[in-house]
Amino acid sequence: MEDAVEIRRRILLAFEYAEKTFDPAARAAAMTFVIVGGGPTGVEMAGAIAEIARYTLARDFRHIDPSSARVILIEGEPLVLAAFPEDLRRSATKQLQDLGVEIRAGVHATDLTEEGLRVGDEFIPCRVKIWAAGNNASYVGKSLGVPTDRAGRVIVQNDLTIPGHPEVQVIGDLAAFTDERTGQLLPGVSPVAMQQGRHAASNILAMMEGRKPQRFWYFDKGSMATIGRNKAVADLHAVHLSGLPAWMVWAFVHIMFLVGFRNRIAVFFQWAWAYFSFNKGARLITRNFQAESRPPA
């Protein structure tokens, strides 16, 4: 939540700065938003910023046209959403381009500075840069003194326990669990964590009752990525959806997994209002007291 508020603050401040400055170069840099990483997070972020610029803030300023803002998505692979089937990857690319997102695929971002970043031989001046290419795991993993992978995730056995420590189970994006059927590490996403959580609880009860813990098998129900209003892709294995059908499936699944009927109703009406009004919430610029309290580097 704190990161989301900070991202909103920086995006709104960039438009406010562009509104006040009369330097064309500074204004162009302020209205350029770069997202590094073309996975589900980066794709959703690029689509959200593009919609905010083109619709939500379209009439909020006098001296600038927010819809002229540049949203650039950088991805090292040839297409975005590397884990999805190729037809959905191409569909996601088309949907992003329809929103005005510039996609730089097959390249890497380097030389990130306050003024901008470099993509190949080109330096892109920009005030807002968002990293969506993955993060290291929590420091807790390395603090345990057990084997970890290069991202800091704890290497676990097939029953989610640490080798030599059957009393400790690690789940979610802190666990480096290799699926024996594919030989690949499971991604650090919520469906994996939810299934691992239920399995860990079952194994803990089994050990309390003197029974042997069972190995964990992940059931992949499919993958979805939202891009914007009526724009999404969904890989349901036998069925590939894109556009409005995928967006409706994504919205339904997310509402149904909320805890409590009241929360589902509240979110449904909030999303319905946002759908018809393109209103993506309060335009509040908050202060980052945590960042301000840090000593200078």
Mean pLDDT of 55-69: 92
Counting residues of the chain whose pLDDT is more than 90, the rounded percentage is 72
β-pairing verdict for 116-119 and 128-131: unpaired
pLDDT of residue 296: 42
**Residue 70: beta bridge partners?**
32
- Of 226, 269, 223, the C-alpha closest to 248 is 226
Enumerate domains of the chain plus CATH numbers: 2-134 (3.50.50.60), 139-208 (3.50.50.60)
* Residues with catalytic roles: 44
- Of 104, 18, 7, the C-alpha closest to 60 is 18
Q: What is the Cα–Cα distance from 75 to 34, expressed in whole angstroms?
A: 11
- Can you read off the two tokens belonging to residue 194? 């939810």
What are the pLDDT digits (tens) for 113-160? 999 999 989 999 999 999 998 778 888 888 889 999 988 999 999 999
pTM, two decimal places: 0.84
What are the pLDDT digits (tens) for 191-228? 899 999 999 999 999 999 999 999 999 999 899 999 99
